[in-house]
Structure 1
Amino acid sequence: MSTVTFKNTLLKSLAPEIIARLHLRPVTFELEHEIEYPGRSIEHLFFVEEGMASMTTTFQNGSQVEVGMFGYESVIGVSALMGTKQSLNRVYTQIAGKGYSCTIEVARREFRLGGAFQEMALRYVQAQLVQVIQSAGCNATHNLEQRLARWLLICADRAHSDTFEMSHEYLAQMLGASRPTVSTTAFILKGRHLIEYNYGLIRILDVSGLENVACECYQVIKEHLNNYAEFESGITA
């Protein structure tokens, strides 16, 4: 395992001896695979290498809204390292991919050593918190056109792809908007030749143009998720 070239941000930063102690196992994330579910025990950490997953909050009426995204920088289930026993949210695959997993017991043992794994996990938690806070402010402040542009750009960044399957109904759920409103907004972006879509397949045609439409939240989230390995956590064991 120590000779593997990792794509995941956290795994890339770890020394071979730490990787060996984690006893990683390769996993495949199928489309719409449910990784976590509210109330279900968290038994594994998942290090995403390819693909993308979403974390959503579900309300009593059955509606849901996205509160976090996971890509190659991510560690799904990281809250279990701080003592969380059961998942609080639903996490499922949006874009099929692959990665690695390890048991929570092994991960907690490594975390408690207070070394590089703990430091990187805490940095990732900070980056994820920035994403959640920024997204909450964005949803309350910016218009749907800005938010849709931001969401598509972050999705493309996390998945390393400018083309992905995504229905308007699904986009509406993720953005907390109605399907007709999302369809109208997507049509506007398509009319500006920023994106194209057919039969649930979305392709970004003009990244810089879409960045001009997106609110500043895109750059804030992108900066923290891309570079958390270089930031100081400000937290000590």
Structure 2
Amino acid sequence: MSATVYKNSLLHSLDAEVIKRLSLEPVTFELEHQIEFPGESIRYLYFVEEGMASLTTTFENGAQVEVGMFGYESVIGVSALMGTKRSLNRVYTQIAGHGYSCPLEAARSEFRRGGAFQSLTLRYVQAQLVQAMQSAGCNVQHEVDQRLARWLLICADRAHSNTFKMSHEFLGHMLGASLPTVSMAAAALKRKGLITYTRGLITIPDVKLLEKKACECYHVIKDHLDNYTEFDSGIIW
């Protein structure tokens, strides 16, 4: 199978022999499908083709805050290649889609070869770190409406869609903000015509206008997630 059929950034950059050794199997990601849960063994890596998932930290009181996001650029479970045996976080689907699973042992074997797969997964880990660090700084430095604009834009990019279903309560979890705060921020964006929403369905009418509202963190994160396969040499494997 030609690598050019893949939408996932990492799979798209691998040659046919590497793809064959990864023993990929198609998988469907239903809405709120749980991919990882804290304390559970990591048995597979997952490559998203369409849809989006969130990586969250869960606190004793049950509250969740998003610390990472997975879309077409992602490999979920990559920490297992660095020695992690059990998941530290919850990973679940926000926007339904599909992709591929890869048995952990097949991924480890390919990673140990030290070729393109190892290089690309390490570059992806770096992109994840940039995303996490930028988001942490953003949560302190920028206003909620800017952060909401940034999050919605990244969400749209990862999902390849400017329309998606998302409740205000869920947005609060993702931004680490209260429901009233998120509702006020969403209402402010709506009044300015930057988003529309009804019954949880959010639409971005004009991406460029929403980009002007978002903080600079959007472009920093977007650049790293979109281009990590080219970072070290400018040449895609």
Normalised by the length of structure 2, the TM-score is: 0.97
Within a 5 Å distance, the mapping from 1:7-156 to structure 2 comes to 7-156=7-156
Contact in 2 for aligned 1:2/1:20 (Cα 8 Å): no
Within a 5 Å distance, the mapping from 1:157-176 to structure 2 comes to 157-176=157-176
Cα distance between partner residues in 2 of 1:9 and 1:49: 9
Residue of structure 2 in register with 1:224 after alignment: 224
Cα distance between partner residues in 2 of 1:208 and 1:106: 42
Q: How far 1:151 moved relative to its partner?
A: 0.2
Contact in 1 for aligned 2:66/2:174 (Cα 8 Å): yes
Residue of structure 2 in register with 1:195 after alignment: 195
Cα distance between partner residues in 2 of 1:102 and 1:62: 31
Paired amino acid for 1:74: S
Q: How far 1:4 moved relative to its partner?
A: 6.4
Cα distance between partner residues in 2 of 1:132 and 1:183: 24
Summarize deviations over 1:149-201 as a string: whole Å, max 9, x none: 00000000000000000000000111011111111111110011110000010
> 5+ unaligned residues in a row in structure 1: which ranges?
none
Moved over 2 A (4+): 1-4
Q: What SS does the aligned partner of 2:88 have?
A: coil
What is the number of equivalent residue pairs in this alignment?
Answer: 233
Paired amino acid for 1:200: G
Contact in 1 for aligned 2:3/2:13 (Cα 8 Å): no
RMSD (Å), alpha carbons: 1.0
Q: How far 1:107 moved relative to its partner?
A: 0.2
Cα distance between partner residues in 1 of 2:137 and 2:214: 14
Summarize deviations over 1:72-96 as a string: whole Å, max 9, x none: 0000000101111000000000000
Identity of aligned residues (%): 72
Contact in 2 for aligned 1:127/1:225 (Cα 8 Å): yes
Cα distance between partner residues in 1 of 2:2 and 2:148: 40
Cα distance between partner residues in 2 of 1:4 and 1:103: 22
Within a 5 Å distance, the mapping from 1:175-190 to structure 2 comes to 175-190=175-190
Q: What SS does the aligned partner of 2:184 have?
A: helix
Q: How far 1:205 moved relative to its partner?
A: 1.0
Cα distance between partner residues in 1 of 2:3 and 2:159: 24
> Could you say if the C-alpha distance between residues 185 and 3 of structure 1 is closer, same or farther in structure 2, counting changes exceeding 3 Å?
closer
Cα distance between partner residues in 1 of 2:29 and 2:220: 27
Cα distance between partner residues in 2 of 1:4 and 1:220: 27
